[in-house]
């Protein structure tokens, strides 16, 4: 969907046309009604954009394309746009239009200027590839590419090359590094990893699968109900009732999509790692639980909110001790750890929730995976990973604000984990409190301040059981806050989760930083609970307690 000033008349005409079409008749399917509502919302937003070029810092050669639409129950509409300038993608040029009854409520964006750079590059694309190649840390696995972009994450947008290198790290993590090379100075001014190995697979070869309900005999989560499919006389780990989300066995390979788990019965695994189906059942259950969490709690229908399931790949690599989301294959991937010598397969509920939430972020705010926005991206995955663990309410994996604690053997004290949300510095690397240099850290450490905010918002300055004075963590209420506010009260997980989800999907954009995250969550809480509500006051107090003022 492109919007140009010259198309204003068409935009208005289509508002009138689609506004009539938007009233669903009894014969119309709900999918058709949703599509009509979406089209009408886009048409109304296009008019508002065209009527307010200054507010969106529009330059003459800017072109906008819609990337997401959210319509609230009360009819408020939020239409998200990406921007190109002279046909070049504009990184950081995205924005969201908020309106009700075709009346503008405002814009969310980080861009602050309609100034645009000249298009003559002093440094060519080939030179940019050489610059980036000098810092790409491993052998590249396919030819690097470059494209011209406008980099607008700084106050003055500049012309740059986006160079992409693919390779495999020593630990078997695939890497898809994006380097932004200033086309004037030749300097690398930003970089992030998109992670990518495989093209989308064809998944199940079954032509007409029917939904079935199986039993997963998991390693981490006990015996659970699994959504599967029946195909002729056999069964497949394809969740027909959740968009066809499928779990594939990589059989220790690191490329391709592996093969979908298939069985002659609808019972999967035997609770032991010696059976290859067992961790498939864990991952399939964790992903289904995450799907249910987003649908039930937030009304989101799958990762892209389009009802489509994703592929999960298990038994990836040899002794691979990580898990990852890849935008390129729209899939999640889980390693086996070292099969429990020191770390179990990474298929536990909060890790599955973490990876799938990366997909949700990429299909909403699309927070760039570097600097402060990258930390907020990581935190979003930890926040929803933890909330999925609470939602699962599984006695084999009691819920907490510790990420990945079930991955480590003999870990009753939760001394081993990936991250501790209530006290990020327990990992030895993540700051508890905000400082202006936070964005220089790895995104898994700059996430800590937002995790910390979220814990304080939901639970208040209350030390979780098992971590208090005299334990290994030795925490006190005073050590949980950065500003001495030990009387900080929590608003509960339900309210906190709804605020973060709304901030992510409605108000954050690709370059949102910590200061803007504070604003986004205050806006979200104001919508949900009111500007002077206890919840909105708690949002402000919790940010202040992690030094974001």
At residue 519, φ and ψ (nearest 5 deg) are -60, -45
Here the tokens at position 49 are 């954009």
- Write down the least CB distance from residue 446 to Zn ion, Å: 12
Residue 211 or 429 having the CB closest to Zn ion: 429
Beta-bridged to residue 331, according to DSSP, are 311, 326
Instruction: Give the residue from 67, 69, 97 showing the smallest Cα distance to 2.
Output: 67
- CA distance linking residue 513 with residue 500, whole number of Å: 14
Return the closest-CA partner of residue 330 out of 240, 199, 225. 199
- Quote the tokens at residue 38: 């979406």
Work out how close the CB of 382 gets to Zn ion at its nearest, in angstroms, rounded to a whole number: 8
Residues 149-178, one symbol each (x = binds Zn ion by CB under 5 A, - = not), give: ------------------------------
Nearest-angstrom CA–CA distance, 288 and 263: 19
444 is catalytic: yes
CA dist., res. 336 & res. 180, Å (int): 34
If DSSP states are collapsed to H, E and C, what string results for 89-131? Answer: EEECCCEEEEEECCEEEEEEECCCCCCCCCCCCCCCHHHHHHH
CB of 14 to Zn ion, least distance (A): 40
Indicate which residue of 284, 354, 444, 452 is catalytic. 444
Tell the smallest beta-carbon distance from residue 366 to Zn ion (Å).
Answer: 15
- Cβ distance to Zn ion smaller for residue 214 or 359: 359
> In angstroms, what is the minimal distance from the CB of 325 to Zn ion?
7
Token pair 């990936």: residue: 418
Nearest C-alpha neighbor of 384 from the set 544, 505, 480: 505
Residue whose CB is less far from Zn ion, 220 or 367: 367
CA pair distance 200, 419, nearest whole angstrom: 31
Give the x-and-dash track for 332-371 against Zn ion (CB under 5 A): ----------------------------------------
Enumerate residues 445-464 that contact Zn ion by CB under 5 A.
none
Report in angstroms how near the CB of residue 433 gets to Zn ion at its nearest: 22
Shortest approach of Zn ion to residue 168 CB, angstroms? Answer: 19
Q: Which has the closest alpha carbon to 520: 77, 110, 99? A: 110
The Cα–Cα gap between 415 and 425 comes to 13
Please, which residue, 277 or 381, has the CB nearer to Zn ion? 381
Q: Which of 77, 82, 131, 355 is catalytic?
A: 355
Site string for Zn ion, 371-410 (x = CB under 5 A): ----------x-----------------------------
Alpha helices in 223-321 (DSSP H): 276-298
**Polymer length in residues for the chain:** 549
Q: Give residues with Cβ within 8 angstroms of 26, minimum separation 6.
A: none
Q: Which is nearer to Zn ion, 381 or 523 (CB)?
A: 381
For residue 508, the SS3 value is: coil
Q: What angle do CA 519, 522, 524 make, to 5 degrees?
A: 110
Residue where the block lists tokens 């990581």: 378
Q: How far apart are the first and last CA of the chain?
A: 38
Which of residues 326 and 381 has its CB atom nearest to Zn ion in the complex? Answer: 381
Given a contact cutoff of 8 angstroms between Cβ atoms, the answer to whether 310 and 244 are in contact is no
Residue 199 has what DSSP assignment?
P
Residue in 327, 331, 329 with CA at minimum distance from that of residue 311: 331
Per-residue binding string, Zn ion, 110-139, x by CB under 5 A, is ------------------------------
547 binds Zn ion (CB under 5 A): no
Q: How far is the CB of 324 from Zn ion (least distance, A)?
A: 7
Q: Is there a catalytic annotation at residue 162?
A: no
Between 250 and 367, name the residue whose CB sits nearer to Zn ion: 367
Q: How far is the CB of 21 from Zn ion (least distance, A)?
A: 41
How far apart are alpha carbons 359 and 498 in whole angstroms? 18
Select from 322, 319, 324, 323 the least CA-distant residue to 341. Answer: 319
What is the nearest approach in angstroms of Zn ion to the Cβ of residue 33? 35
Residue in the shown chain whose Cβ atom is closest to Zn ion: 381
Which token pair is 255? Answer: 């490329």
Q: Which is nearer to Zn ion, 144 or 374 (CB)?
A: 374
Residues binding Zn ion: what is the number (CB under 5 A)?
A: 1
Residues 275-334 that bind Zn ion (CB under 5 A): none
Q: Closest CB to Zn ion among 381 and 451?
A: 381
Contact pattern for Zn ion over residues 494 through 533, marking x by CB under 5 A: ----------------------------------------
Token pair 């980036």 is at which residue?
A: 132
Identity of the residue, 381 or 430, whose beta carbon is nearer to Zn ion in the bound complex: 381
Binding positions for Zn ion, rule: CB under 5 A: 381
Q: Which residues are catalytic?
A: 355, 444
């Amino acid at each position: 969907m492109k919007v140009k000033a010259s198309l204003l008349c068409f935009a208005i005409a289509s508002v009138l046309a689609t506004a009539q079409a938007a009233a669903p008749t009894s014969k119309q399917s709900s999918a058709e009604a949703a599509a009509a509502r979406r089209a009408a919302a886009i048409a109304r937003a296009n008019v508002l954009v065209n009527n307010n070029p200054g507010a969106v810092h529009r330059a003459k050669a800017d072109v906008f394309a819609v990337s997401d639409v959210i319509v609230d129950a009360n009819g408020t509409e939020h239409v998200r746009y990406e921007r190109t300038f002279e046909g070049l993608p504009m990184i950081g040029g995205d924005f969201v239009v908020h309106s009700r009854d075709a009346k503008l409520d405002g814009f969310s964006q980080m861009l602050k200027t309609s100034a645009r750079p000249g298009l003559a590059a002093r440094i060519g694309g080939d030179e940019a590839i050489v610059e980036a190649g000098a810092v790409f840390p491993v052998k590249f696995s396919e030819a690097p590419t470059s494209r011209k972009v406008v980099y607008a994450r700084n106050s003055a947008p500049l012309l740059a090359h986006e160079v992409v290198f693919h390779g495999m790290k020593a630990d078997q993590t695939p890497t898809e590094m994006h380097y932004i090379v200033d086309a004037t100075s030749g300097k690398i001014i930003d970089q992030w990893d998109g992670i990518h190995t495989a093209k989308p697979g064809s998944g199940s070869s079954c032509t007409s699968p029917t939904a079935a309900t199986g039993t997963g005999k998991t390693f981490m989560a006990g015996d659970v109900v699994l959504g599967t499919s029946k195909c002729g006389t056999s069964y497949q780990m394809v969740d027909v009732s959740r968009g066809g989300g499928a779990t594939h066995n990589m059989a220790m390979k690191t490329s391709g999509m592996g093969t979908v788990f298939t069985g002659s019965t609808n019972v999967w695994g035997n609770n032991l790692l010696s059976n290859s189906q067992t961790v498939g059942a864990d991952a399939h259950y964790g992903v289904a639980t995450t799907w249910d969490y987003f649908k039930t709690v937030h009304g989101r229908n799958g990762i892209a909110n389009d009802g489509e399931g994703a592929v999960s790949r298990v038994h990836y690599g040899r002794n691979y001790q990580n898990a990852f989301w890849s935008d390129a294959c729209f899939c999640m991937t889980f390693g086996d750890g070292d099969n429990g010598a020191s770390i179990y397969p990474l298929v536990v509920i909060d890790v599955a929730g973490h990876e799938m939430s990366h997909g949700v972020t990429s299909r909403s705010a699309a927070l760039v995976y570097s600097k402060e926005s990258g930390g907020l991206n990581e935190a979003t995955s930890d926040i929803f990973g933890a909330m999925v663990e609470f939602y699962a309410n599984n006695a084999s994996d009691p819920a907490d604000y510790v990420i990945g604690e079930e991955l480590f053997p003999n870990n009753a004290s939760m001394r081993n984990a990936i991250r501790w949300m209530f006290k990020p510095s327990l990992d030895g690397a993540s700051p508890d409190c905000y400082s202006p240099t936070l964005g220089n850290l790895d995104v898994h450490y700059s996430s800590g301040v937002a995790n910390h905010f979220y814990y304080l918002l939901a639970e208040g300055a209350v030390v979780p059981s098992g971590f208090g004075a005299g334990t290994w963590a030795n925490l006190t209420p005073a050590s949980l806050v950065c500003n001495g506010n030990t009387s900080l009260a929590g608003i509960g997980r339900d309210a906190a989760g709804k605020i973060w989800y709304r901030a992510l999907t409605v108000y954050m954009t690709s370059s949102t930083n910590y200061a803007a995250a504070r604003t986004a969550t205050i806006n979200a809480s104001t919508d949900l609970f009111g500007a002077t509500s206890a919840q909105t006051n708690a949002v402000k107090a919790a940010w202040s307690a992690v030094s974001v003022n």
